[in-house]
Structure 1
Amino acid sequence: MAATPHSDLTGQVVVVTGAGSGIGRATAHAFADAGAYVLGVGRRKDALVETAADRPRITPHPADLLTADTPQEVVDAAVERWGHLDVLVNNAGATRMMPLAETTAAGITALFELNVTAPSLLARAALPHLRRRRGTIVNVSSTYGHRPLPGAAHYAASKAALEQLTRTWARELAADGIRVNAVAPGPTESEALAAAGLPASAVDQVKREETGRIPLGRRGEPQEIAAWILRLADPTATWLTGQVLAVDGGLGLV
């Protein structure tokens, strides 16, 4: 299921984190297909090269967002290559099952470093360039940023924090003409569950249970989320800011 660009973003420069797979890869493709230049950021070089295959507008940029100098280095790489920066898509994140009885300080810290601290520092590094271009930030949250997720409360809390950052940055940066919005995907086909450490049998069970709760009767595809990220970043969406858009097959209605 391919996303059809509804926008002409020719000449726009976009940074997409977590571009090696899933929603990040689909988002990089959507922006490139709409005419933008994309810096695809992620930790796995091979995966980024696959993302960029047959799309010369995507430049792979391997980087660890948890390293202190990375946020500035990523922004500098985009600006040095294309001269400016219009859009930051904070997609990189981690899912972790961590019931309260098994909660550790290290586990909490790891989740919040990637899901909250890293996008914050990347946005700070991008801010001077976004001000010059009256650009936009799109954060990728989760349906569990505003719904309980038993057994993974700290993951849900980190996404709730990202949603509040979205609303607050939107107020803070409105005078600069910078729009800040978020997409909150429902259960979407990706590597996230396996990356969270769940065995294959547990992943299959979670997928079946999630599908059973979704009114539209299926999990989402990364391209469906990417299409809405593209629309939120569209420079013609001039009066939309501070919104968290649930793209979840109706799960929020249940």
Structure 2
Amino acid sequence: MITVHPPAGHLAGRVVLVTGAGSGIGRAAAIAFAAVGAHVLGIGRRQDALAETAREHPGIDTFAADVRSAGAPGAIVEEARRRWGRVDVLVNNAGAAALVPLAEVTSSGIGDLFALNVTAPSLLARAALPHLRAMHGSIVNVSSTFGHRPLPGGSHYAASKSAVEMLTRSWALELAPERIRVNAVAPGPTESEALASAGLPPDVVDRIKQDEADRIPLGRRGLPADVAARKVAPRASDRSHPS
């Protein structure tokens, strides 16, 4: 595993919002940002899971919210403003995977998936935008390798992540004149609760994980910390552009 060491202090005192911070990539990102001196507000639905994240570093505070609810974006940003008076970085990590064959898709299933993976990060970015403008901040969206390659049996999940990648590219161009950077990370198979949360039985989850590991040259799935390092490491350029 390659360990990325960001320059000491480049995020010291900055305020970072991380959604889906109760586990997996979100928890790893919250810890990584706090470790380089940022004030982190970890957001998620499960207070007990958020508490576990907060115990990892004193620089992590938490706020329990469902990012899909109508008042959540404003409440999240206001909580950060109340605590620290600013928002510098938004990490749109919360999301869900769904493996549903075309023959079984439903209107509500598609709607729920896009509400979490596409609509919620869009509205949270809109709510944070005045602060990001003031701080010349940044947005990091978490996509997936399936945002740019097909997923048989999971077409709508892939479509939602493709939408995230196009949002990233479009926002990067739109917000560049205001010196707001917008990037995305697109993890491959990564250890998290995503497969289990998709409702797959344990034996199927184990089989998928093994199949994925067998196709990876290193012989293992990624770790959340691998992805977190890509979020915290600075870009060589200060211009807005998608990764």
**For 1:121-132, what aligned pairs fall within 5 Å after superposition?**
121-132=123-134
| TM-score where L is the length of structure 2 | 0.96
**For 1:24-43, what aligned pairs fall within 5 Å after superposition?**
24-43=26-45
CA distance in 2, matches of 1:114, 1:43: 12
Q: Which moved more, 1:5-14 or 1:140-149?
A: 5-14
CA distance in 1, matches of 2:3, 2:72: 30
Whether the 8 Å CA contact 1:3–1:30 is kept in 2: the answer is: no
Indicate whether 1:153 and 2:155 are aligned.
yes
| CA-CA distance at 1:218 after TM superposition | 1.4
Look up the SS of the partner of 1:185 in the other structure: coil
Look up the SS of the partner of 1:96 in the other structure: coil
| CA-CA distance at 1:76 after TM superposition | 0.8
CA distance in 2, matches of 1:10, 1:239: 18
Could you tell me the percent identity over the aligned residues?
A: 62
Whether the 8 Å CA contact 2:20–2:42 is kept in 1: the answer is: yes
| CA-CA distance at 1:4 after TM superposition | 5.3
- Stretches of structure 2 that go unaligned for 5 or more consecutive residues are none
Superposition RMSD in Å: 1.4
| CA-CA distance at 1:242 after TM superposition | 2.5
Aligned residues: 241
CA distance in 2, matches of 1:95, 1:112: 11
Look up the SS of the partner of 2:186 in the other structure: strand
Equivalence for 1:69: 71
**For 1:2-17, what aligned pairs fall within 5 Å after superposition?**
5-7=5-7, 8=9, 9-17=11-19
Whether the 8 Å CA contact 1:43–1:63 is kept in 2: the answer is: yes
| TM-score where L is the length of structure 1 | 0.92
CA distance in 2, matches of 1:65, 1:179: 22
Query: What whole-Å deviation, never above 9, does each CA across 1:155-190 have from its counterpart, x for those lacking one?
Result: 000000000000000000001000000000000001
Equivalence for 1:185: 187
Whether the 8 Å CA contact 2:175–2:240 is kept in 1: the answer is: no
| CA-CA distance at 1:237 after TM superposition | 4.4
